[in-house]
């Protein structure tokens, strides 16, 4: 079944070639008239005030960490979603079993979610 993934690789390659072509075409055809003020960073028309690469707020880091955790949770949901229908339709006991299993999983993480909510990590100031 591996070869059914090949077209995706081909599409990626085509997209890369496409981007490279356009960029180089522009390089070849476009004008080349440089001067120092043209190459300055844009600062609404005033001279550069201070460094441009500033440090970012720790909140972004926090959001990224929470994202990883919930993303991993989502990763566990996919295999469950795939087997659930078949299992649930086979017998009522299996349905209850699979449902409770995931309910416990989600509720346990729900505790964490409530904790984050109470800690006001979702509130940007």
Partner 1 sequence: MAFDTTDVILSLVKIAIVLAMMLQVTPIMAWVERRGSALMQDRPGPNRVGPFGLFQAFADALKFILKEDIIPARAHKWLYTLAPAIGLLPALTTIAVVPWGRPFLLAEREVGGRILFEGGRWFVPVVADVSVGILVVFALASFSVYGITTAGWASNNKYSLFGGIRASAQMISYELALTLAAVSVLLATGSLKLTDVVWHQTGTFVLFDTLRLPAWNVLSPSMWLSFIVFVVAAFAETNRLPFDFAEADAELVAGYHTEYSSMKFALFFMAEYMAMASMSAVIATLYLGGWDIPWYNEPPTFLGFLLSALFFVAKVGFLLFFFVWIRWTIPRLKYDILMRLGWKVFLPMAFVNILLVAGFIAMRWI
Partner 2 sequence: MFEYLIFFFFAAVAVIFALVVILHRNPVVGALSLVVSFFALAVMYVLLDAPFMAALQIIVYSGAIMVLFLFVIMLLNLQHEKEPSTRPVQQWLGYLTSSAFAISLVYYLGKYAVMSGALPVPFIADARAIGRRMFEAYIFPFEAVSILLLAAIVGALMLTGRSEQRENTSGEVIR
101 binds partner 2 (CB under 8 A): yes
User: Measured between alpha carbons, how far is 109 from 120 in angstroms, rounded to an integer?
Assistant: 17
Q: Which of 46, 56, 58, 111 binds partner 1 (CB under 8 A)?
A: 56
118 binds partner 1 per the rule CB under 8 A: no
Q: Smallest distance from the beta carbon of 88 to partner 1, in angstroms?
A: 5
Give the chain's end-to-end CA distance (angstroms, integer): 50
* Interface pick for partner 2 out of 10, 13, 16, 108 (rule CB under 8 A): 108
Q: Which residue among 17, 82, 89, 96 contacts partner 2 (CB under 8 A)?
A: 82
Residue 18 contacts residue 11 (beta carbons within 8 Å):
no
Q: Is 56 in the site for partner 2 (CB under 8 A)?
A: yes
32 binds partner 2 (CB under 8 A): no
Q: Given the rule CB under 8 A, which of 14-22, 27-35, 39-47, 67-75 is the region that contacts partner 2?
A: 67-75
C-alpha pair distances (Å), 110 with each of 19, 25, 79, 98, 115: 43, 53, 20, 18, 8
- DSSP annotation of 42 reads P
CA distances from 120 to 29, 57, 68, 111, 115 (A): 53, 16, 18, 14, 9
Size of the site for partner 2 (CB under 8 A): 46
Does 121 interact with partner 2 (rule: CB under 8 A)? yes
């Amino acid at each position: 079944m591996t070869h059914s993934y090949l077209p995706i690789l081909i599409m990626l390659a085509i997209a890369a070639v496409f981007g490279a072509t356009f960029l180089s075409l522009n390089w070849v055809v476009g004008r080349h008239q440089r001067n120092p003020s043209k190459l300055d960073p844009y600062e609404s028309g005033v001279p550069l005030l201070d460094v441009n690469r500033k440090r970012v707020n720790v909140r972004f880091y926090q959001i990224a960490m929470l994202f990883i955790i919930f993303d991993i949770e989502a990763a566990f949901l996919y295999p469950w979603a795939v087997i659930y229908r078949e299992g649930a339709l086979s017998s009522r006991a299996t349905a209850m079993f699979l449902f409770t299993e995931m309910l416990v999983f989600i509720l346990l993480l729900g505790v964490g979610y409530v904790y984050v909510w109470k800690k006001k990590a979702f509130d940007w100031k």
